[in-house]
A and B are shown apart, each in its own frame.
Chain A
Amino acid sequence: MSLFGTNDIRNDLGDELLRRPEIPETKDYSGEKSFFEAFADALRAFIDSLREALGGESSSEAREVNETLAEKASDVMAEVFDERTLREWGTMSMEQREAKLSEYYSKLGEALGINARGVIIEDCAVTAGVGVLGYNSGDGYLHIDYRNLQDPSRLIDVLNTTTHEARHQLQVEAIADPSRFPEISPGLIAEWEHNMRNYDNGAFGYESYYNQAVEADARAFATDVINGYIAKLGL
């Protein structure tokens, strides 16, 4: 007597369960873009949409963005997220992607002169709210929502968020000790400090949140970094 009561396992389990599933037809991917090509398109579209909405490079977003730091940051982005990494991103494991992101943030921290302690991948919907891509906890750690890492098509959001949050970390450290960042004008640091003390969380309108100094600066910085990255990779 077998485990199932008879000696005929096929009878016990049934044909339905034992039927080998149909192997799907091979999909013809010819003519479709690779992840790399799709990513390059998405990067350009990202920059173009910002330019279109913000009225070109001399928009109000580009207030006093430090060119040297943006240049250094885009070098780091191009070094870590090189063409090979972009081609492999879609097939990387979560651990591999997390390692790449940590490498980027660590080297970005060195380039910017900030305390970049690490990246924590978590469920930001629980820790910071639904729809939040990531946040800076002010202690050198960046927190990135796991969904962005999980979905390869959201790599742009990952790069943008990480760079944006790194800029916030720089803002805080510049306020604490302006002498460490001589390339940033005292006037800009004072503006950041004033804004941080009177931070608008957007309760009374998204416009005031979006336009406040530290947010506009971080967005402009990340945009410039990605712009430089696109140029460096020739995308």
Chain B
Amino acid sequence: MLDNKIVRERLLNDFDCKASQVDGVVDKISKMAPDIYAAFESWFNTGVIQEIEVEGYTVASLLATKKNLNIVGAYLTLDWLRREPQRAKLALSQPEIANSVITKKIVK
């Protein structure tokens, strides 16, 4: 099992995870299905992606089709596919509708 503090630091330093978001991400990682977590841990420690297929998706296929997803997110998405396969597959199969409106400041 990975040290969550080390995971947290790496998310903040290497993946530009927001401080407001990082603890939630660490929590999700710690709760991943055992086989997916093992694959994630292997990548985390070695840098080598150990592919695992869930509902027809792999880390590589997710990274190839979702432009904003990083590798941590790819493993978390595989876990989502394991927990809610029908919903996750629907979401992933839908074409992406980007929301650039969030880049604008909300002015009152």
Interface residues of A (CB under 8 A from B): 49-50, 52-54, 124, 128-139, 157, 160-161, 164-165, 168-169, 171-172, 175-177, 193, 196-210, 214-215, 218
Contacts and interface: CB of A to CB of B under 8 A. Distances in A.
A53 to B, nearest CB: 4
Contacts of B92: 206
A134 B98 contact: yes
Interface string B22-41: 00110010000000000000
Interface of A is mostly: helix
Given A132-B97, A200-B21, A203-B68, 14 more contacts: A128-B98, A131-B95, A132-B96, A137-B101, A164-B97, A172-B101, A175-B106, A175-B108, A196-B101, A203-B17, A204-B72, A204-B73, A205-B72, A207-B88
Interface of B is mostly: helix
Contacts of A208: 24
A202 B104 CA distance: 18
25 contacts: A52-B86, A53-B89, A129-B98, A131-B67, A136-B99, A138-B100, A138-B104, A161-B97, A168-B101, A169-B101, A172-B101, A176-B108, A196-B101, A196-B106, A197-B106, A200-B21, A201-B68, A202-B68, A203-B17, A204-B70, A205-B28, A205-B69, A205-B72, A205-B76, A215-B99
Interface of B: 11, 15, 17-18, 20-21, 24-25, 28, 62, 65-70, 72-73, 76-77, 80, 86-92, 95-104, 106-108
Which of A139, A175, A208, A214 is packed against the most chain B CB atoms within 10 Å?
A: A208
Contact of B97 (A135, A177, A201): A135
B86 A53 contact: yes
A133 B97 contact: yes
A138 B91 CA distance: 24
A206 B100 contact: no
Contacts of B67: 129-132
A204 B96 contact: no
A127 to B, nearest CB: 9
A177 B108 CA distance: 7
Contact of A204 (B25, B89, B100): B25
Contacts of B66: 202, 206
A60 to B, nearest CB: 9
B69 A202 contact: yes
Contact of B106 (A52, A131, A193, A201): A193
A45 B8 CA distance: 43
B98 A205 contact: no
B75 to A, nearest CB: 8
